Structure 1
Amino acid sequence: MRRTSKGLIGGALFTAVSGLALSLYSSRIARQAEELVPADGRFLDVAGARLHYIDVGSGPTIVMVHGLGGQLRNFSYALVDLLKDDYRVIVVDRPGSGYSTATGAMPGIVGQGAIIADFIQKLGLDRPLLVGHSLGGAIGLAVGLDHPHLIRALALIAPLTRPQESVPESFRGLARVPARARLGFAQVLGTPLSRLTSAKTLEGIFAPEAVPEDFAVRGGGALSQRPIAIAAAAADLGGVNDDLTPMAERYGEIGVPTRILFGRQDAILDPAYHGHRTAAAIPGAKIDTIEGGHMIPITAPEACARFVRAAFAAG
């Protein structure tokens, strides 16, 4: 009995020490990521969140919303520079991503749509073009459904638009994060596991194109390995179908001009399902496809810039 007790105590002590070591490791990775990718812009408090954003250029306004596990440098990597001479371009970190934080429970797609709507109102923007990439496209659609008076048009790049029966392989690790302890899990195991699998994950997200060597810094990729970002991305992924299922049934109500752009080789979201089917459901919507994968704002910025300009003109 004594040996058994000592074994149990020793095992518990080992587990506690290991957990502490992994937690400290995760904190160190988070600090390093923030040193590599510091906050680029300013902050604004809105209902439900404190948002970090950049605001560059002048002219008619464009607001950009990034996707799952991303942050605003996904757009400022190249696309913003191609637009800022003719437009005022505002790119925002979603709650839990980059340097934005939720002030309560992590909001779902509809909740984040309301946050973006309040962001537009708090900045006093006059019906900007709303650009959304991937999960940001779903948030754009939520704004188009519930707050259409605030925007002139939607430009959706490789958007998530419909409920998913299965999780893309690159994001299956996030799907395994327990819902009741997301931040704790991310602090102890999420960041170390993310470090081990990041190369393969990014290869899947960018496929068939290569991951840019400078993506970690210039594209903000390093920030996605912080515990807070992993927990937020897991929450986003865990709740998408709850909002997308009823949203998809309402796409016929969307009255703002809507354009969709997909890479034909997108390995994350099916262009036929999320693109062509959704374009057919939205009155007057148009869809274009180009050569490329899911991360075309980074890998094909010139084509994306032409798409955004055309969407603005159509609005």
Structure 2
Amino acid sequence: MLVSILLWLLGGLVLLAVAVAVCLMLATWWIAAKSERLVPASGKFIEIGGNRIHYVETGEGRPIVFLHGLGAQLHHFRHTLFGRFGEGYRLIALDRPGSGHSVRAKGAIGRVTEQAEIVRQFIDKIGLAKPLIVGHSLGGAIALTLAVEHSKAISGIALLAPLTHMDASVRDKFGSLYIQSPLLRWIMAHTVAIPASLKYAQRTLAFIFAPQATPADYMVKGGGWCGLRPSHFYATSSDVVAIERDLGGIEQRYGEIAMPAGILVGARDRVLGMHIHGLPMTEKIRDLDFEPVDDLGHMPQFIEPQRGIVFIKRIADRAFAVDR
């Protein structure tokens, strides 16, 4: 009798777990479908080594390629900077592999060296002549990797609140994304992660934009909804895990960087502290243009877009003068 009751309870628990999982999968599907409607693909696609890269471009002249940060997408530049930049520049922003509307190649794991190589091939494939690379946050680490490993492909780097060093606190801040098992990462992406991300979106954004407020139009015009899809979560988690594979080695080579380089960083950045990821770079890159900004957090392109443009153009003047 007791065995029958236990089996009945076990069966009930299994059914309940299945029901919960199905509900979470349906919620994930609904949120992802809404994301696709609110922030659809808006640019061109190009195939690079099995990666399907989504990108947008505007203007003519000096080429500048923009690389977004962790969990972000190309609207972090298209929405904030492109319309204010003025003439004389060809501006290209891409969704990094797996992020936004780009698709990561089967077997790729998101290492910064891997992503830098894809950007190098992207530069070649669309016919850019040694562009300036602008990198925000994790995009900054990829820009630095390009400067170290593919210096002949680019003219310079302009970094906005960049990730520059191995920092244990980063894993702590994004602990929910640090999922080492690809299988568990996939399960989380298709069940719990997206509903939970939507529920806590405002809290997460408040941390990222602090001390400033999150822009009211961020979720749609800034592309925020784009991150609420299983593929995007999976790629973001992969990026977090993969950072540890290469960044420690790359940071040992910053002294090799001889091209024009600059860093704009907020003194009140809670995501990537200036004293870890900003100030030490002044001792590692020769003639670094270092611009700290009081009372600014991690998102200068949203909060101080005009300052960001002036900074990027200043580095561009140096980079393209050298290249000519």
- Determine if the TM-score, normalized by the shorter chain, exceeds 0.5: yes
Distance in structure 2 (CA, Å) of the matches to 1:152 and 1:69: 27
Q: Does 1:241 align with 2:241?
A: no
Which residue is equivalent to 1:155?
A: 158
Q: Does 1:228 align with 2:231?
A: yes
Choose which of 7, 12, 15 in structure 2 pairs with 1:13.
15
* 1:227-277 CA-partner distances (Å, limit 9, x unpaired): 111111111111212211001111111122111110111111111221121
Pairwise mapping of residues 56-95 of structure 1 onto structure 2 (< 5 A)? 56-95=58-97
- AA in 1 matched with 2:57: D
Q: Does 1:215 align with 2:218?
A: yes
Pairwise mapping of residues 48-127 of structure 1 onto structure 2 (< 5 A)? 48-104=50-106, 105-127=108-130
Distance in structure 2 (CA, Å) of the matches to 1:76 and 1:177: 32
Deviation larger for 126-135 or 16-25: 16-25
> Which runs of 5 or more structure 1 residues have no equivalent in the other structure?
none
Deviation at 1:296, TM superposition (A): 0.8
Determine helix, strand or coil for the equivalent of 1:26. Answer: helix
Deviation larger for 86-95 or 44-53: 44-53
Q: Is the CA contact (8 Å cut-off) linking 1:158 and 1:261 kept in structure 2?
A: yes
Deviation at 1:294, TM superposition (A): 0.3
Distance in structure 1 (CA, Å) of the matches to 2:109 and 2:164: 20
Distance in structure 2 (CA, Å) of the matches to 1:28 and 1:86: 42
Q: Is the CA contact (8 Å cut-off) linking 1:51 and 1:94 kept in structure 2?
A: yes
Deviation at 1:168, TM superposition (A): 6.4
C-alpha root-mean-square deviation of aligned residues, in Å? 1.4
Percent sequence identity is: 36
Which residue is equivalent to 1:4?
A: 6
Distance in structure 2 (CA, Å) of the matches to 1:282 and 1:49: 32
> Which runs of 5 or more structure 2 residues have no equivalent in the other structure?
320-324
* 1:116-155 CA-partner distances (Å, limit 9, x unpaired): 0000010110001000000000000111111111111000
- AA in 1 matched with 2:156: A
- Taking a change above 3 Å as real, the CA distance of residues 13 and 178 of structure 1, as seen in their structure-2 partners, is same
Which residue is equivalent to 1:185?
A: 188
Deviation larger for 78-87 or 246-255: 78-87
Report the TM-score, using the length of structure 1 for normalisation.
0.97
Task: State the number of aligned residues.
Answer: 315
Which residue is equivalent to 2:312?
A: 308
Determine helix, strand or coil for the equivalent of 1:166. Answer: helix
Q: Does 1:43 align with 2:52?
A: no
Which residue is equivalent to 2:302?
A: 298
